[in-house]
Amino acid sequence: MAFEGARRRLIDGGRRALGLDVATTDHITLASLHHVEADVPELDPRELAQFRRIRLLGATGTVLIAISALGVAAQPVLQNPVSGVRVIGVFARWQTSSLALSMIGTVLVVMAWLLLGRFAVGGFGAAPLHRLTRSQLDRTLLLWILPLSVAPPLYSTDVYSYLAQSEIARRGMDPYVVGPASGLGVGNILTMNVPNIWRETPAPYGPLILWIGRGIAQITGDNIIFGVWAHRLLALGGVALIVWALPRLSRRCGVAPVSALWLGAANPLVLFHLVAGVHNDALMLGLMLAGIEFCLRGIRDRPGPFDRRAWGLLIFGVVVITLSSTVKFTGIIALGFVGMALARRWGPGLRPILASAATLGGLAVATTLFVSLASGLGFGWIYTLNTAGAVRSWMSLPTAIGIITGFGGVLLGLGDHTTALLFITRPIAGAVAAFVTLRMLIATWTGRLPAVGALGVSLAAIVLLFPVVQPWYLLWAIVPLAAWATTKAFRVPAVAFSAVVSVMLMPRGADYGVFQIIEAAVAVVIVSLAFIVWTRNRLPWRATPGVSAPSQQPATYGVGS
């Protein structure tokens, strides 16, 4: 009898842990991240004047960043178009001044983004009395993106690795076996621009991005400038897909499209790292979100049995999501949440889950096989997914714990056991992230959370517990959550992380002297404070009272999810 009672308690505890039998109050921490946003009137004349100044402020910041990039960006070692030029070459010689100009531009963009938030999501936890229109935000985003689109690569040199790995593929070698140094030679112009740490490293990316990159290499050859711009066009295409998909997903969750776009697309991390930094995460995120939108159209738009249109949308969406995983494998996670939403649509029980898994899994395998075989790149990318693990990232929670603990051991005279500790903290963090993902999948299946919100929570756990976390990885979670999570419990930390991380990073990494950073930072503080004092009555630095139009009854966004 005692054994039976213990077994029953164990089963009940397991069901509660997995979210299969949980009281409503146990979901308060996640469900409270979302509330349905109400429609509000457009900006009044005073707010419209402030909005135009904010848009100009952000545009000024991006122009300053683009100009200073002529001296402090991650410019190529060879084929530098501004090297030795009389006028524009001065930025490369005035390193400290150019760094200060870049940091001032960065702070101006972040300030403009935060001020714009008053007209998109309101103040801290308060809905705005008036909201931007979609066209106003779209034009603002385009205006801010344009200067960064023509600037040299900023905040990262990854694009030079893309060029070298693509050239390796073009020459018929396997980029998943050889690195730039061994494949192209140390003296090759493309290899010379790759950071030393990655010169012997095979490509960690999926076959689709290298297939496209091989085509770019075929066209641009050894011309680094044209190659960088070609890859930037891919990144801009990914951002365009984000801008297309995010408002549609937000409407399904009852969230104002402008709110989702402000946090997920106009985010400084998107501007600085996806556009200026030319990261292929833009294409991965864009394809993933677009695929989810097509899948949800097929699953939810029409009640009743699946018709031909629903099947067509579902298949197309699954293919697009799988394509995102052949850019970066992280995109495949979205397929699990789409599968759970499909299983819920098909009915209760285990059989719909198995049918959904078989259907979506078959489509994903077929798409992956096609890309891997048609590209001629094979399946070597599966074995290089952990390449980035060689880096110790301070933003990774398990890595930070391991490093801090190891440093503590050194201080105590116990020796440096950091590597051994990382072998402990990283697997534990991976297990926790896997459990959170499983819990979110079940929450999607039971209908307690929509697929988009559950995916965002899962990706947040994965990002925070990932062995390596780069600043733009935060967008894996922020972008999908922007379409669902609306309360200050999410938005305040997301905004704070985005703003702080955007300001902290140097335009070319850590390649600056301490005195240069300090002098530039002092200049930034002085200029910023002076600007705030000068515009204290012209820009909405403080919340101002207002009254929404009494004739407009609030109507909620969303078509249901």
pTM of the model: 0.88
Residue 452 amino acid letter: V
From 142, 327, 144, select the one nearest 231 (Cα to Cα).
327
Q: Is residue 439 part of a domain?
A: yes
* 378 Rama sector, left if φ>0, alpha if ψ -120 to 50, beta otherwise: left
Tokens representing residue 470 in the block: 């780069």
Please say whether the dihedral angle defined by the alpha carbons of residues 215, 218, 219 and 220, taken in this order, is positive or negative.
positive
Q: Is residue 330 part of a domain?
A: no
Contacts of 360 (CB under 8 A, 6+ apart): 318, 335, 338, 339, 342
| CA–CA separation, 54 and 141 (whole Å) | 12
Contacts of 61 (CB under 8 A, 6+ apart): 104, 105, 106, 107, 108, 109, 110, 111, 112, 144
| CA–CA separation, 460 and 472 (whole Å) | 13
Q: Is residue 474 part of a domain?
A: no
| CA–CA separation, 199 and 208 (whole Å) | 21
pLDDT of res. 411: 67
38 beta partners: 556
| CA–CA separation, 525 and 111 (whole Å) | 13
Q: Which domain holds residue 430?
A: 392-467
| CA–CA separation, 205 and 441 (whole Å) | 26
**323 three-state secondary structure:** helix
Q: Is residue 499 part of a domain?
A: no
Contacts of 176 (CB under 8 A, 6+ apart): 202, 203, 377, 378, 380, 381, 383, 384
Provide the residue-wise pLDDT of the chain in tens; the chain has 561 residues: 555 555 565 555 555 555 565 544 444 466 667 676 777 778 888 889 899 999 999 999 999 999 888 888 777 777 777 666 666 666 667 778 888 888 999 999 999 999 999 888 887 656 778 888 899 999 999 999 999 999 889 888 889 889 999 999 998 888 898 888 888 888 888 888 888 878 888 888 889 999 999 999 999 888 888 999 999 999 999 999 999 999 999 998 888 899 999 999 999 999 999 999 999 999 999 999 999 999 999 887 555 677 788 889 999 999 999 999 999 988 999 999 999 999 988 888 889 899 999 999 999 999 999 999 998 888 888 887 776 655 666 667 777 677 777 667 666 666 666 667 677 777 888 888 889 999 999 988 888 888 999 999 999 999 888 877 788 889 999 999 999 988 888 888 899 999 999 888 878 755 677 777 788 888 888 988 998 888 888 888 776 554 333 334 445 555 544
Using only the alpha carbons of the chain, give its radius of gyration: 25
C-beta separation of 484 from 34 below 8 A: yes
C-beta separation of 481 from 456 below 8 A: yes
Q: Is residue 8 part of a domain?
A: no
Q: Is residue 331 part of a domain?
A: no
* 560 Rama sector, left if φ>0, alpha if ψ -120 to 50, beta otherwise: left
C-beta separation of 104 from 523 below 8 A: yes
Domain count, the chain: 1
Q: Which helix (H) or strand (E) holds 15?
A: helix 2-18
DSSP structure string for 83-127: TT-TTTTHHHH-HHHHHHHHHHHHHHHHHHHHHHHTTTT-SSS--
Q: Is residue 490 part of a domain?
A: no
Other C-beta atoms closer than 10 Å to the C-beta of 229 total: 16
HSE-CB of 391 using CA atoms within 13 angstroms: 16
Q: Which helix (H) or strand (E) holds 489?
A: helix 488-504
C-alpha distance from residue 219 to each of 18, 73, 225, 376 (Å):
51, 25, 12, 18
| CA–CA separation, 460 and 348 (whole Å) | 28
| CA–CA separation, 8 and 15 (whole Å) | 11
Q: Is residue 404 part of a domain?
A: yes
